[in-house]
Amino acid sequence: MTLYDYGARCYNPGASIFLNVDPLAEQTMEPYSYVGNNPINFTDPTGMSKEGGESIGVRKIGEGKYEVVSGKADGDKSIYLADSKGHYNKKSEKIGESLTEYSFLTEEGKAVKGAVINTYDTSGIDFLNNEVVNNSSLTQLDYMPNATGGKHYDFKARGRNELPTTQWNKHHYRGMLFQGIDNMSESNSGKTIFASARDIGNVGAGYFAASKGWNWSDTRSAFDGLQKWQQLNPFATEGKPSQYAQKVGHTAGYRIWGQKNPMQYRNRQRNGLN
């Protein structure tokens, strides 16, 4: 059997998988697969993480407001001003970056055309800071039953009942600032970051689970279990747009949980359970 040495891991081209777990599996969420099974748009020269991503093209539609018109897999999370035909490149004017490479993409990896990014919208910041991160009274009984189906903690759905159902998906992907959120380094990096409303809800879900001491494996099992139940499909799992945003929140929440529970955190770390 011929194996390819990628440095961090060995790859079996016959089975199209790596033989070792990705050293960055917590970030990539792909322990064995090669570039997310998408070799057309990504590469993995080190054996640790695929190189790629999706930039977004927008057009200005008002003061501080931009509409998503295009997107392309080019390894760039930047949001660019596009021309009248939706074209842009790395020299185009940049308004900021997406929180994750999937922030304004559908589950199928297509840009959500028509979604509006409002550079003055701070509702996501307020939600995370006031209702999740700093809400010490928030319990699982409060949060879990009310985080889906348009209920209180289903952030993406806020305000959608005022719109026709045909506009709901664009509303779920409305963009807003992701800055100044407590305990989250991504929001305090000095960059101008924009998240979708869907991102905000998923960041909150990941943070809440981690703040209760759930490691990433248990969190993924719980969230994918909910997805199976919602779709009545035993094989269903959440898509990358959800998982990547949840991971942002989980990383922040688990760090705080570890600071509050150092002995338990270290025990888990020694046993590979973090």
Q: How high is the pLDDT of residue 18?
A: 72
Note the maximum CA span of the chain.
60
Whether residue 199 contacts residue 9, with contact meaning beta carbons closer than 8 Å, is answered with no
Domain locations along the chain: 1-52, 54-274
CB-count burial class (<10 Å; 0-12, 13-18, 19+) for 31: middle
Q: How high is the pLDDT of residue 8?
A: 56
Give the full edge-to-edge strand order of the sheet including 4-5. Answer: 4-5, 10-12, 17-18
Q: How high is the pLDDT of residue 107?
A: 85
Give the number of other CB atoms < 10 A from CB of residue 268.
16
Q: Render the burial of 161-178: b for 16+ CB within 10 Å, e for the rest.
A: eeeeeeeeebbbbbbbbb
CB-count burial class (<10 Å; 0-12, 13-18, 19+) for 136: exposed
Residues 6+ apart with CB under 8 A from 244: 29, 100, 101, 102
Position 78, amino acid:
S
**Cα separation, 44 vs 39, whole angstroms:** 9
Q: Give the three-class secondary structure for 134.
A: coil
Q: How high is the pLDDT of residue 148?
A: 92
- CA angle at 188 for the pair 186 and 194, rounded to the nearest 5°: 60
Where are the strands (E) in the chain, listed by range?
4-5, 10-12, 17-18, 54-62, 65-73, 78-81, 94-98, 116-118, 175-177, 193-196
Best CA proximity match to 116, nearest among 79, 155, 165 = 79
Best CA proximity match to 115, nearest among 178, 179, 187, 195 = 195
Mean pLDDT of successive 10-residue segments in the chain (274 residues)?
A: 58 71 60 60 50 83 98 88 94 96 90 98 98 95 93 97 97 98 89 97 97 95 92 92 95 96 94 86
Whether residue 47 contacts residue 6, with contact meaning beta carbons closer than 8 Å, is answered with yes
DSSP 3-state percent helix, strand, coil across the chain (nearest 5): 40, 20, 45
Q: How high is the pLDDT of residue 273?
A: 87
Phi and psi (nearest 5°) for 248? -60, -50
